[in-house]
Amino acid sequence: MRRREGQPGPVKRQFGHRARLALTADQAAVLEGQGHAARTIWNLLHDWWTMLPKAQRTLAAADAIIRQGRAELDWLGVLPAQAAQAVLKCYFQAWKNCWEGRASAPEFKSRLRTKMSIDIPQGRDLRVQRVHRRWGMVNIPKVGRVKFRWTKGLPVGKRADKDHRITGARLVKDAFGWHIAFRITTLTPKPAVHPGPEVGIDAGITIPLALSDGTSVEHGQWLSKKEEARLLHYERRAARRKAHRKKGESTSHRLQHTYDQIARIRATAKRRRDDWQHQATTAIANTYGTVVVEALRITNMTRSAKGTLKQPGQHVAQKAGLNRSVLGEAWGRTVELLAYKVADRGGTLVEVPAPGTSLECSQCHTVTEGSRRSQAQFVCNNPACGWDGNADHNAARTVLNRYRTGHALVPAAGRAVVRRATSGVKPTTAR
């Protein structure tokens, strides 16, 4: 085994910090206006872009369109010029993501379904100040000084310099109101190599996170029975009101209110899940030096199982159930969190090829017919082996074994690792 160390010295880190804004009703109304203006600029751009011959699609021409739009539609002027430029940048990034296969093509942003957001691209415009143990003040263009909850030490005042500073922010509105997401850059010393053991992780069906050492990280229900009942109640009410709505009639205030109540309960569940994900990934990154995960392509896994007319899919209902649970656990975000947390602590996150990890026996490394007895149980049908145990733990052990036998894809983050399978060496058994 050979490990190639990166360059010594401090590493630049970029991260975000989200804080709740305490806005007066007037200030919230101003932000609302800015949010709608930002959305309109996006739609203008998209309209113009899709109409234009390909050769004329340039940044300069898009910039001209924004200037023209701001001059002609005076209510767009409520949005600061820099925020309008940020929409332009965002729009082009959306196309870049599409061309490079990370996302589907940008679309129009609808008034009701779009999450409102406004960018503040310049960190120095924010003039962040701590005014109390729990409160900070931030300058928001065209709104003024706004109070926000201070829950984390931000690099401001004497603690800010060219290596530690806030580089910008984004204002986002969710079901709980307006938040500010700061973009922060810091220079931190390169962490020492994490001495912890290796571990394989599987995003299980019956266990949220199964670890190859036999432990697991679990969670309760995201919503209490009472909250679930309330959600169902509101969903039924919304469906009823929607059914009574005449064709072409706009959403009533009552229906909108019910939609908001539904959104708030769903956001509560999401916030609890995010919190659990942070706690689980921090604990794993603290304990283990090398973390091995499956390189799952969530988009492929969750794509509709219905197939096409010519090639109808099989087990459509089961796959739909799996899709829901995979999305529910949000494996992609778990890996994302693990990647930076593991790297911060001097560890390595490695991805191994996923196909067949749930079918392969982690003891004798063979695939036998019918070994996966159920979602939870795995029994090896190899007469010489006969290993049995939890199917999710089995998959986690196989994931680790694939790394140890040299099947690692590129390290997902952290130090670069070169591993070669040496012939004649017995593969180590998973912990």
Site residues (vs Zn ion, CB under 5 A): 361, 363-364, 380, 382, 385, 387
HEC letters along 307-355: ECCCCECCCHHHHHHHHHHHHHHCHHHHHHHHHHHHHHCCCEEEEECCC
Q: Which residues contact 353 (CB under 8 A, 6 or more apart)?
A: 294, 295, 402, 407, 409
Cβ proximity to Zn ion: between 51 and 384 the closer is 384
Q: How far is the CB of 368 from Zn ion (least distance, A)?
A: 7
Question: What is the C-alpha to C-alpha distance for residues 62 and 88, in angstroms, rounded to an integer?
Answer: 7
- What is the four-CA torsion angle of 347, 276, 298, 308, rounded to 10 degrees? 170
Q: Which residues contact 259 (CB under 8 A, 6 or more apart)?
A: 238, 251
Question: What is the C-alpha to C-alpha distance for residues 41 and 88, in angstroms, rounded to an integer?
Answer: 8
Element (H, E) at 177: strand 177-188
Q: What is the DSSP string of 99-136?
A: HTTSSPPP-PPPTTTSPPEEEE--GGGT--EE-SSSEE
Task: Classify residue 150 by its DSSP letter.
Answer: -
Cβ proximity to Zn ion: between 92 and 387 the closer is 387
Return the exposure string of 184-216: e unless at least 16 CB atoms fall within 10 Å of the residue's CB, then b. bbeeeeeeeebebebbbbbbbbebbbbbbbeeb
Cβ proximity to Zn ion: between 201 and 379 the closer is 379
Q: How far is the CB of 371 from Zn ion (least distance, A)?
A: 8
Rounded alpha-carbon distances, angstroms, from residue 187 to 5, 14, 161, 171: 19, 9, 10, 25
Q: How far is the CB of 381 from Zn ion (least distance, A)?
A: 8
Contact 384, 361 (CB under 8 A): no
CA of residue 383 relative to chain centroid, distance: 44
Measured CA angle at 211 (ends 206, 214), to 5 deg: 90
Cβ proximity to Zn ion: between 261 and 398 the closer is 398
Question: What is the C-alpha to C-alpha distance for residues 34 and 79, in angstroms, rounded to an integer?
Answer: 5
Structure tokens at 137: 């003040």
Cβ proximity to Zn ion: between 382 and 390 the closer is 382
Phi, psi of 124 (to 5 degrees): -70, -20
Question: Which of 350, 340, 343 has its CA nearest to residue 291?
Answer: 350
Cβ proximity to Zn ion: between 293 and 380 the closer is 380
Measured CA angle at 361 (ends 359, 365), to 5 deg: 110
What residues pair up with 78 in beta bridges, in sequence order?
none
Q: How far is the CB of 379 from Zn ion (least distance, A)?
A: 9
Q: How far is the CB of 123 from Zn ion (least distance, A)?
A: 57
Helix, strand and coil content of the chain, in percent to the nearest 5, comes to 40, 20, 40
Question: What is the C-alpha to C-alpha distance for residues 64 and 67, in angstroms, rounded to an integer?
Answer: 5
* Radius of gyration, CA atoms only, the chain: 25
